[in-house]
Chains A and B, each alone.
Chain A
Amino acid sequence: MRCVVQAVPGLGNPPLSGAQSAASNVAIPEVVMPGATSASQTSVTFRTPAGFDIDTAFLITAFC
């Protein structure tokens, strides 16, 4: 079964809580689907427009 996965960084709602939370709405997601070896798993990496890795909250959706 083939799937399409979309990840969107941002603050979200309800908002994050705690001083240690990380959120960015300018991060660029990179979604990797391992495929048959791990069909139910998706890897997402966020980077800044300058190319640096960044932690952020995000919404992820899979259409299968």
Chain B
Amino acid sequence: MLAALRSRLTYANVVSTACLFIVLGGTSYAVATGSIDSREIRNNTVRRKDIRNNQVQSWDVRNRSLLAEDFKLGQLPAGPPGAPGATGPRGPQGQNATKLFGYIRDGGSADTATVQYGSGVTGVSDPAGDSGYVVRFNRSW
């Protein structure tokens, strides 16, 4: 048997066998030492459960890369209030509360009352017999 093996011991067989051991040995060496790097991991295969809790830190994340949507609602502080807006246009002039008013003067003597000034008052009377007055307005004023 040894003679048969020695008869096949050519240069080509020796070199090819050596290469086979080198290739297989290199991979097993990486597995044995635990030095798996990016080349040994298929893209997009590492999952959340593969990372120990509370291990990712600031320097593991590229600066200026996180977005607001990466944070839970209510976690990011609100920004300062914006500047006040420009003053709106002036509104239309409002209506008078009323145009129906009058200052009634009592003459002191019996049954005399007059409109001293006012708006929309068409007349006033002081009927005899009591201290009542009757005021008439122009409601279409």
* Residues of A in contact with B (beta carbons under 8 Å apart): 1, 3, 12, 14, 16, 18-23, 39-47, 53-64
Contacts and interface: CB of A to CB of B under 8 A. Distances in A.
Of B97, B102, B130, B137, most buried by chain A (CB within 10 Å of CB) is B137
B7 to A, nearest CB: 128
A26 to B, nearest CB: 13
A22 to B, nearest CB: 4
Given A23-B106, A59-B102, A61-B100, A40 B136 contact: yes
Interface size class of B (residues with CB under 8 A): 20 to 34
A5 B116 CA distance: 18
A47 B134 CA distance: 15
Given A18-B107, A60-B135, A53 B101 contact: no
A44 to B, nearest CB: 5
Contact of A45 (B104, B116, B121, B133): B133
A41 B135 contact: yes
A55 B108 contact: yes
Contact of A59 (B97, B101, B108, B134): B101
B13 interface: no
Given A59-B102, A60-B102, A20 B139 contact: no
A62 B116 contact: no
B132 interface: yes
Contacts of B132: 43-46, 53
Given A1-B139, A39-B139, 19 more contacts: A3-B139, A16-B105, A20-B107, A22-B106, A22-B107, A23-B106, A41-B134, A42-B135, A44-B133, A46-B132, A53-B130, A55-B106, A57-B104, A59-B104, A60-B104, A61-B100, A63-B97, A63-B100, A64-B98
